[in-house]
Amino acid sequence: MTRYPFRVLNVFAESSLAGNALAVFETGAALSDELMQALALQFNLSETTFIVPSSSATAKVRIFAPTFEMPFAGHPTLGTAHVVRSLFGCGDRLTLETQAGIIPLSARGDTWTLRANSPRARATTATSAELARMLGIEPEQVREHPLWIDAGSEQLVIRLQDPDAVLRCRPDPVLLAHHGSNSNGICLVYVWAHEDVPPDENGERVVSRFFFLKHGAVVEDPGTGSACANLGGWLVVTKHELPLSLSVDQGVLTGRKCRLFLTVDSNQQIFVAGNVIEIGRGEIEL
């Protein structure tokens, strides 16, 4: 029997039992791809990560959803950086190698910030009416410029009329698979809207939700850093005035409220930040 230590963390969390949960295995060098995938399914969280050595960054991170490996994801990258700092004693600045490239990260206390890749964009072939049917809302609630955005993970970014429209979404799994599957055949859809309230100290406020499919059923993610980065990419591509800062609320309907922070600077660089809280450690014996 071999023991594999892991940690459990909550990312984008404003309290210990909020945020998006993450399991991080401290060493994945001896694990096969098949075993990593099986462990991710065993934990059955949005993502489980595995730290492995890197020749080009502080460490390399492998990121697994329960049923597939991901090239990049925001909350696993932030949470893994928190563990890497603890394990390696590398201070508040480090880099993580992902399949999507080298991601620079920095921390102030337990608030971590990543710099996302420059965005790529492509148009969706679905009409506003088709997207509305997919989401279970009225066509007039879909705003202009729904786009596929890739700042590390390609997702369909759809701006809606208001936060009520975001909260009313009840996606159809068949239509979600048809209209919301990216170039890799993975269904990833992000909806968002501005809140009609004065900006706070973290800038304008946004409400968002993120949907994907698991074994044919619609699943909602509590807090999605890659989608937040893609929102930054959407704002760049649609020529929003820069610089800007957004405070993004997600996960309210999942019972796991998340608060994400998005900054896009005058050079079109995209930064996503959030608090990370470690809540437990353990070992798997195999």
Give residue-wise pLDDT tens across range 59-76: 999 999 998 999 999 999
User: 128 and 203: one domain?
Assistant: yes
In this structure, the answer to whether residues 157 and 195 fall within a common structural domain is: yes
Are both 217 and 143 inside the same structural domain? yes
> Which pair of structure tokens corresponds to residue 154?
């390609």
Q: Is 204 assigned a catalytic role?
A: no
**Is residue 126 domain-shared with residue 230, that is, in the same domain?**
yes
Encoded tokens for 106: 């920095």
104 plus 151 within the same structural domain: no
Q: Do 150 and 246 belong together in one domain?
A: yes
Q: Spell 16-50 as b/e; 16+ CB within 10 A means b.
A: eebbbbbbbbbebeebeeeebbebbeebebbbbbb
Q: Number of folded domains in the chain?
A: 2
Length of the chain: 286
Q: Looking at the structure, do residues 110 and 124 belong to the same domain, yes or no?
A: no
Residues 60 and 93 in one domain: yes
Distance CA 77, CA 27 (A): 15
Mean pLDDT score, 178-182: 97
Residue range(s) defining the domain that contains residue 17: 3-115+274-285
Instruction: State the catalytic residue, choosing from 47, 69, 195, 204.
Output: 47
Answer whether residue 1 shows pLDDT above 90: no
Could you give the percent of the chain with pLDDT greater than 70?
100
Is the dihedral angle over the CA atoms 196, 250, 121, 81 positive or is it negative? positive
Residues 138 and 261 in one domain: yes
Whether residues 72 and 124 fall in one domain: no
**Which of 25, 98, 37, 97 is CA-nearest to residue 65?**
37
What pLDDT score does 34 carry? 97
Helices 74-88 and 225-237 meet at what angle, rounded to 10?
120
Residues 151 and 75 in one domain: no
pLDDT for the residue numbered 217: 94
